[in-house]
Structure 1
Amino acid sequence: MPEGHTLHRLAREHQRHFAGAPVRVSSPQGRFEAGAALVDGAVLVTAEAWGKHLLHHYDNGRVVHVHLGLYGKFTDLPLPMGVPVGQVRMRMVGAEIGTDLRGPTACEIYDEPQLTALENRLGPDPLRPDADPDRAWRRISKSQTVIGALLMDQAVLAGVGNVYRAEVLFRHGIDPERPGKRVSRSEWDAVWADLVELMAIGVDAGVMHVVRPEHDTGAPSYAVDRPRTYVYRRAGEPCRVCGTPVLHSVMKARNLFWCPTCQAS
């Protein structure tokens, strides 16, 4: 599932390509036909992301909410776009480019109460300038739930997925099985600041860069579809820092990776 930086990158691209002018919106597949008709020809004012949710705000007050889920993907195409291929849930056509959305978990029109409800149920997003890390800290500092699970709870922290969870805990030497209430305030502040920086790099670069330069040895450095990591997807391989084999388990139905030596506390 795409992590938060992917949605923020999409929002930035959609803002650049479509905002400020009328957008033709359709649903070749038909599943979003009624919703598309409500925004077709309207001006896209703002495209934004909150965690793993993408929001398109139009000048007629309508908001299109998209959650990509596991399989959703936007495909940009030059104009004229031609006949849609496959199950295109939503097609957007701007003045210079178009994009097709396939396979999302959600693509729907949100009214104001639904938008407010979404904002209320999501935790702070490290990529949003209005994010309040204290909101997440209040939940974490009182919770007996382990920090590895808390970081993946979108109601606690929005946008962090499996890769950033594994990597930021490694970078700060925190055992993913440590209860949230045993994470110190200084540790949380450092984790938050790191997420803000790392996820912003992901937005700008389009790929996750989580390994510090002094540990980024060996080749290839970064695969196109698989970022170089400290522990994620490296079960059994030697830790880049201490050489201990990286461990793997499953936490709340998601794969978990960590170094038992570097993350002993």
Structure 2
Amino acid sequence: MPEGHTLHRLARLHQRRYAGAPVAVSSPQGRFAAEAALLDGRVLERAEAHGKHLFHHYGPHGTVHVHLGLYGTFSEAPLPVEPPVGQVRMRLAGRTHWTDLRGPTRCELLTVAEADAIKARLGPDPLRRDARPDDAWERISRSRTSIAALLMDQSVLAGVGNVYRAEVLFRHGVAPMLPGRSLDAVVWKEIWTDLVTLMRAGVRTGRIDTVADEHLPEVTGRAPRQDRHGGEVYVYRRAGQPCLVCGTPVAHTELAGRNLYWCPVCQPV
């Protein structure tokens, strides 16, 4: 599932390419046809992301809410438009480019109030300037739930996924099963600041890199990471491989149906 930086990259791209002008909206697949007909030819006023959610605002005509889920993707291309390929839920065409949305978990037209209600259910997003990290800390500091689970709870913290979760806990030496209420407030502030830095870098580059310069392949002589997610990481998807810092095999388990990775030595209980 795409993490928050991917949605913010999409929001910036759509803002740059489509906002401020009328857009052609259609649904070649047909599942969004009625909503697309209401928006076709309207001005897309603004695109924004909150956590893993993308919003296209059309003023009084409503807001398109997209959640990509596990399989959703956007494809972008310059004009002219081409015949649709596959199950295109929503097609957007502007002055210079067009984009197709396929396979999202959600693609729906909402009122402004309904869109605001979705945002209100989400925790602070490290990539948003209006984020209030103290709101997340209030939940974390009172919870017996593990910090690993809390970081993935989008009502606590929006936009953090499996990769950022595993990597930020490693970078700060925090055992993933530590109860939230046992986390030091100073460490939480460091984690939040680190997430802001890491995720902003992800928006710029389109990949997740969390490894310090001294642990990069060109410095240590190890082979670069080969993974479809890209980026150099410490523990994510490295189960059984030596920790880049201490050499201990990276541990792996499942937590709430998601893979969890950590170093038992660098992240002691």
TM-score by length of 2: 0.96
1:259 is the counterpart of 2:263:
yes
In structure 1, C-alpha distance between the alignment counterparts of 2:223 and 2:18, rounded to whole Å: 39
Q: Using the alignment, how far apart are the partners of 2:229 and 2:4 within structure 1?
A: 17
TM-superposition CA deviations, 1:3-60 (whole Å, max 9, x none): 0000000000000110111000000000001111121111111100000000001144
2:244 maps to which of 240, 245, 249: 240
**In structure 2, what is the equivalent of residue 52 of structure 1?**
52
Amino acid at match of 1:239: C
C-alpha displacement at 1:230, in angstroms? 0.3
2:228, 2:160 → 1: CA distance? Answer: 21
1:222 Cα deviation from its structure 2 partner: 6.9
**1-side partners of 2:116 and 2:99: how far apart?**
27
Q: Distance in 2 between matches of 1:146 and 1:224?
A: 28
Please tell me whether the aligned partners of residues 76 and 97 of structure 2 are also in contact (alpha carbons under 8 angstroms).
yes
Q: Counterpart in 2 of 1:230?
A: 234
Q: Deviations over 1:113-167 (max 9, x none)?
A: 3112212210000000000000000000000000000000000000000000000
The size of the alignment, in residue pairs, is 265
Question: What's the counterpart of residue 132 of structure 1?
Answer: 132
Secondary structure in 2 matching 1:151:
helix
Q: What's the CA shift string for 1:223-243, capped at 9, x where partnerless?
A: 564322100000000000000
Aligned to 1:110: 110
Query: Structure 1 length as normaliser, TM-score?
Result: 0.97
Answer yes or no: is the 8 Å Cα contact 1:38–1:62 preserved in 2: no
- In the alignment, the residues of structure 2 paired with residue 161 and residue 10 of structure 1 have an alpha-carbon distance, to the nearest angstrom, of 17
Structure 1's 43 and 90: CA in aligned 2 closer, same or farther, altered over 3 A?
same
One-letter identity of the residue aligned with 1:241: V
Unmatched 5+ stretches in structure 1: none
Cα RMSD (Å): 1.1
Q: Which one-letter code corresponds to 2:245 in the other structure?
A: V
Displacement of 1:221: 5.5
The worse-fitting range, judged by mean Cα deviation, of 22-31 and 223-232 is: 223-232
Give the whole-Å Cα distance in 2 for the aligned partners of 1:224 and 1:141. 35
Query: Quick one: which amino acid aligns to residue 15 of structure 1?
Result: Q
Deviations 1:188-241 (A, max 9, x none): 000000000000000000111111111112232675643221000000000000
Q: Is the 8 A contact 2:39 2:61 kept in 1?
A: no
Which residue is 2:65 aligned to? 65
Maintained 8 Å contact 1:222/1:228: no
Instruction: Give the distance between the partners of 2:198 and 2:127, measured in 1 at CA.
Output: 10
Q: Partners in 2 of 1:136 and 1:94 — Cα distance?
A: 38
CA distance in 2, matches of 1:195, 1:90: 32
Judging changes above 3 Å, is the alpha-carbon distance between structure 1 residues 25 and 32 closer, same or farther for their aligned structure 2 residues? Answer: same
Inter-partner Cα distance in structure 1 for 2:212 and 2:18: 36
* Comparing 60-69 and 2-11, the one that deviates more: 60-69
Instruction: Please state whether the residue corresponding to 1:76 is helix, strand or coil.
Output: strand
Give the superposition deviation at 1:80: 1.4
Aligned to 1:99: 99
State how 1:1-265 maps to structure 2 within 5 Å: 1-217=1-217, 218-220=222-224, 225-265=229-269
Amino acid at match of 1:70: L
Structure 2: unaligned runs, 5 residues or longer: none
Distance 1:180 1:225, change over 3 A: closer
Per-residue CA deviations over 1:173-199 (Å, capped at 9, x if unaligned) read 000000000001000000000000000
